[in-house]
Amino acid sequence: MEAIQVGLLGLGTVGSGVVKIIENHQDKLMHQVGCPVKVKKILVQDLNKKRDVDVDPAQLTTNADDILQDPDIDVVIEVMGGIEETRNYLLKALSEKKHVVTANKDLMAVYGSELLTAASANGCDLFYEASVAGGIPILRSLVDGLASDRITKMMGIVNGTTNYILTKMSKHGRAYEEVLKEAQELGYAEADPASDVEGLDAARKMAILATLGFSMKIDLDDVKVEGITRITEEDIQYGKQLGYTMKLIGIAHREGEKVEVSVQPTLLSDSHPLASVNDEYNAVYVYGEAVGETMFYGPGAGSLPTATAVVSDLVGVMKNMRLGVNGANAVTPQYQKKLKGPDEIYSKFFLRLHVKDEVGVFANITSIFSEHSVSFEKILQMPLKENGLAEIVLVTHQASLQDYEDILVKLRDLNAVHEIKSSYRVEGSARI
Ligand code: NAP
Ligand code: HSE
């Protein structure tokens, strides 16, 4: 029985996990696809680096063509990261009629449609389950499990690093820098962790989720992004006091034909199922018109969880090879993209202000909110030690983003407002 030969691009956190799973689960793989699976060649940068997994040094190469041009290699698994060079490698692999599995959301968020088109044109599979939410089979669930439904909302904790940081800050009072370093050491963070903490990694994943969930081509530029770097200990504590948990939340919401997709630090009602998703765990809450609420939960990063998704994609490729139906899976978006404007995006908002502690100041502030018909759900006011200042913390009822942004402009101009300390979206009291 001839083995399926795999070429691996990368042998870092995820690549090592892939080698381990292929070795350790060989019996199960054999049973599922009817033949052995063998990793033939592995592309790395440094041939002499100490590895987390035992591999024959002869398997390692620094020349990508040893994989891309080897006619015996059927499937290329890309777990090296990066965008431009990687795109070229995968286009070359597809043109050589090799199937591709990738964990690379940076690449798929930018060149996904080009690569899927190339795969289809070459009769090849291109699967990328591990690119969103690590070990959670969310892409397959959207495309297959919920194929019959119309999805209207997805809310996700889709970045393990930031969820790990926020959990440790919020539950254990630990410092941001120290916990970020720990997340890097545990292998959760990207090579450049700025893409985690600035929200870009989550935005890429939300673009992929929204494209599949809404069958609409959502580009990275369509996603409004903000990361976790400006969150303060005070904001986390005020949130707790008011019944909210601070999370980096991706939101993809469809109403009628229009959608919004965003990633931002959000104060989430403690009663929302996403509020109890902690550490490096991820979860995607999906609302479908027929199914109602569903939630997909699991490890969002790390070696073996992510490798599970990669090797499951490999099994998908191999099953298709056996059936002779590779390349038949490409899903072309059904709908034209229509994005909501700020006057069509509704939410509650949390605002923390430092104001002059004088008669009439609060009345001035409330009148600005009244001009936009925005009312308050919760308000706290405390005197500050700083001379003559008070801190006001408030949560609005539902308001349009446009009204809220106009209110912020007017508050900044108000003489009595010393500083707008922080502002967050508030979600989760009503689920849809
Ligand atoms: P990593 O630990 O940094 O490993 C990258 C591997 O690729 C290393 O073995 C490196 O070689 C090799 N490599 C990088 N650039 C190369 C180049 N230009 N030429 C040849 N080899 C190159 O990265 P990772 O954490 O495994 O992540 C890999 C991919 O999976 C990324 O796209 C990431 O976003 C995605 N992902 C990661 C996770 C996670 O939890 N880590 C989860 C989901 C998805 P050397 O070892 O010789 O340096
Ligand atoms: N850096 C990513 C995260 C890896 O923390 O979620 C998984 O995609």
Q: What are the tens digits of pLDDT across the range 315-363?
A: 999 999 999 999 987 668 999 999 999 999 999 999 999 999 989 999 9
Q: Are 80 and 38 within one domain? A: yes
Task: Kindly indicate the confidence band of residue 302, based on its pLDDT and cuts at 50, 70 and 90.
Answer: confident
Q: Are 293 and 311 within one domain? A: no
Q: Which atom of ligand 1 is nearest to the CA of 160?
A: 40
The structure tokens listed for 217 are: 């081509």
Task: Kindly indicate the confidence band of residue 432, based on its pLDDT and cuts at 50, 70 and 90.
Answer: low
Q: Are 237 and 159 within one domain? A: yes
Radius of gyration of the chain (CA): 24
Residue 10 confidence (pLDDT): 98
| Residue 430 reports pLDDT greater than 70 | no
Look at residues 256, 289, 323 and tell me which one is the last residue of a structural domain. 323
Of all protein residues, whose CA lies closest to atom 25 belonging to ligand 1? 13
Q: How far, in Å, from the CA of 15 to the mean position of ligand 1?
A: 7
Q: Are 273 and 319 within one domain? A: no
Instruction: Provide the 8-state DSSP code for 343.
Output: G
Domain CATH for 19: 3.40.50.720
Residue recorded with tokens 């998908």: 316
| Residue 284 reports pLDDT greater than 60 | yes
| Residue 215 reports pLDDT greater than 60 | yes
CA distance 4 to 1: 10
Paired strand residues for 224: 262
CB under 6 Å to ligand 1: residues? Answer: 10-15, 43-46, 49, 79-82, 85, 103-104, 130, 134, 187-188, 190-191, 301-302, 306
From the list 98, 205, 224, 340, the catalytic residue is 205
User: Are 349 and 395 contacting, i.e. CB atoms less than 8 angstroms apart?
Assistant: yes
Mean pLDDT value across residues 237-266: 97
| Residue 431 reports pLDDT greater than 70 | no
Q: Which atom of ligand 2 is nearest to the CA of 205?
A: 8
Residue 241 confidence (pLDDT): 94
Does the residue 333 lie in any domain? Answer: no
Q: Are 212 and 175 within one domain? A: yes
| Residue 386 reports pLDDT greater than 80 | no
Does the residue 331 lie in any domain? Answer: no
Residue 248 confidence (pLDDT): 98
SS3 33: helix
Q: Are 117 and 145 within one domain? A: no
Residue 134 confidence (pLDDT): 87
Q: Which atom of ligand 2 is nearest to the CA of 161?
A: 5
Does 123 show up as a binding residue in the annotation? no
Give the chain's mean pLDDT.
95
Q: Are 283 and 396 within one domain? A: no
Task: Kindly indicate the confidence band of residue 132, based on its pLDDT and cuts at 50, 70 and 90.
Answer: very high
At residue 380, what is the residue type? L
Virtual torsion, Cα 303, 306, 307, 309, nearest 10 deg: 170
Mean pLDDT value across residues 86-94: 98
CA distance 362 to 359: 8
Q: Are 168 and 240 within one domain? A: yes
| Residue 379 reports pLDDT greater than 70 | yes
Does 11 show up as a binding residue in the annotation? yes
Does the residue 336 lie in any domain? Answer: no
Q: Are 347 and 255 within one domain? A: no
Does the residue 52 lie in any domain? Answer: yes
Domain CATH for 239: 3.30.360.10
Does 92 show up as a binding residue in the annotation? no
pLDDT > 90 fraction of the chain, expressed in percent and rounded: 92
Q: Are 273 and 142 within one domain? A: yes
With the most atoms of ligand 2 within 8 angstroms of its CB, the residue from 161, 197, 284 to mutate is 161
Q: Is the CB of 301 under 6 A from ligand 2?
A: yes
Q: Which atom of ligand 2 is nearest to the CA of 202?
A: 6
Does 13 show up as a binding residue in the annotation? yes
Mean pLDDT value across residues 110-130: 95
Number of separate domains in the chain: 3
For 152-198, the pLDDT digits (tens) are: 999 999 999 999 999 999 999 999 999 999 999 998 898 899 999 99
| Residue 128 reports pLDDT greater than 60 | yes
With the most atoms of ligand 2 within 8 angstroms of its CB, the residue from 186, 196, 263, 304 to mutate is 196
Domain CATH for 399: 3.30.70.260
Does the residue 329 lie in any domain? Answer: no
Q: Are 310 and 290 within one domain? A: no
Q: Is the CB of 188 under 6 A from ligand 2?
A: yes
Mean pLDDT value across residues 34-63: 97
114 Cβ neighbours under 8 A, 6+ residues apart: 87, 91
Q: Are 197 and 125 within one domain? A: no
Domain range for 369: 343-427
Does the residue 335 lie in any domain? Answer: no
Does the residue 417 lie in any domain? Answer: yes
For residue 410, indicate whether it is catalytic.
no
Residue 331 confidence (pLDDT): 67
Does 10 show up as a binding residue in the annotation? yes
Does the residue 334 lie in any domain? Answer: no
User: In this predicted structure, which of 76-85, 179-188, 422-431 has the lowest mean pLDDT?
Assistant: 422-431
With the most atoms of ligand 2 within 8 angstroms of its CB, the residue from 188, 247, 277, 282 to mutate is 188
